[in-house]
Chains A and B, each alone.
Chain A
Amino acid sequence: MNTQEIINLFEDALEIEQNSLSESTNLSDIPEYDSMAKLSLIILSDDEFGKKLSGEQIRDFKTVGDIVKFLSAD
Chain B
Amino acid sequence: MKRTFISGASKGIGFALARRLSDEGQNLLLQASSDEGIDRLKDQFGAKGHLFWKSDFTNPSSITNELEGLLRDFGTLDGFVHCVGIRSRRPLSLFQLEGMQAVMNANVVSFVETMRIITKRGYFNPGLSVIGISSISAHVGSPGVTAYAASKAALESSIRCLAAELFKKSIRVNGLVCGQVNTEAYHELMSSKESEADPVLQRQYMGLLEVDQIVDAICYLLGGSSSQMNGTMFPAHAGFLS
Measured CB to CB, the residues of A under 8 A from B are 13, 15, 35-36, 38-40, 42-44, 47, 52-56, 58-59
A58 to B192, CA, bound (A): 9
Most chain B CB atoms below 10 A, which of A40, A44, A55, A56: A55
Task: For A53, list chain B residues within 8 Å (CB).
Answer: 192
Task: For A58, list chain B residues within 8 Å (CB).
Answer: 194
Task: For A39, list chain B residues within 8 Å (CB).
Answer: 89-91, 144, 194
Task: For B90, list chain A residues within 8 Å (CB).
Answer: 39, 43
In the complex, which residue of chain B has the Cβ closest to the Cβ of A34?
A: B194
**Additional pairs, 18, CB under 8 Å, beyond known A55-B193, A58-B194, A59-B196:** A13-B93, A15-B93, A35-B194, A35-B195, A39-B90, A39-B91, A39-B194, A40-B93, A42-B192, A42-B194, A43-B90, A43-B91, A43-B94, A44-B94, A52-B192, A53-B192, A54-B192, A59-B194
Task: For A38, list chain B residues within 8 Å (CB).
Answer: 194
In chain B, positions 195-236 with a C-beta closer than 8 Å to chain A are 195-196
What are 6 A-to-B residue pairs whose CB atoms are below 8 Å? A15-B93, A39-B90, A39-B144, A42-B194, A55-B192, A56-B191
A56 to B196, CA, bound (A): 8
Kindly state whether residue B143 has any CB partner on chain A within 8 Å: yes
A39 to B196, CA, bound (A): 14
Kindly state whether residue B190 has any CB partner on chain A within 8 Å: yes
Task: For A36, list chain B residues within 8 Å (CB).
Answer: 91, 143-144
Instruction: Write the B129-149 contact mask toward A (1 if CB under 8 angstroms, else 0).
Output: 000000000000001100000
Task: For A35, list chain B residues within 8 Å (CB).
Answer: 143, 194-195
Which listed residue, B91, B93, B190, touches A55 by the CB 8 Å rule? B190
In chain B, positions 21-37 with a C-beta closer than 8 Å to chain A are none
Distance between B87 CB and nearest chain A CB, rounded to angstroms: 13
A23 to B165, CA, bound (A): 60
In chain B, positions 160-198 with a C-beta closer than 8 Å to chain A are 190-196
Task: For B143, list chain A residues within 8 Å (CB).
Answer: 35-36
- 7 smallest A-B Cβ distances: which pairs? A38-B194, A55-B193, A58-B194, A43-B94, A40-B91, A39-B144, A36-B91
Task: For B93, list chain A residues within 8 Å (CB).
Answer: 13, 15, 40
A35 to B190, CA, bound (A): 13
In the complex, which residue of chain A has the Cβ closest to the Cβ of B196?
A: A55
A56 to B193, CA, bound (A): 8
A54 to B194, CA, bound (A): 8
In the complex, which residue of chain A has the Cβ closest to the Cβ of B199?
A: A35
A26 to B196, CA, bound (A): 21
A59 to B190, CA, bound (A): 13
Distance between A54 CB and nearest chain B CB, rounded to angstroms: 5
Distance between B156 CB and nearest chain A CB, rounded to angstroms: 25
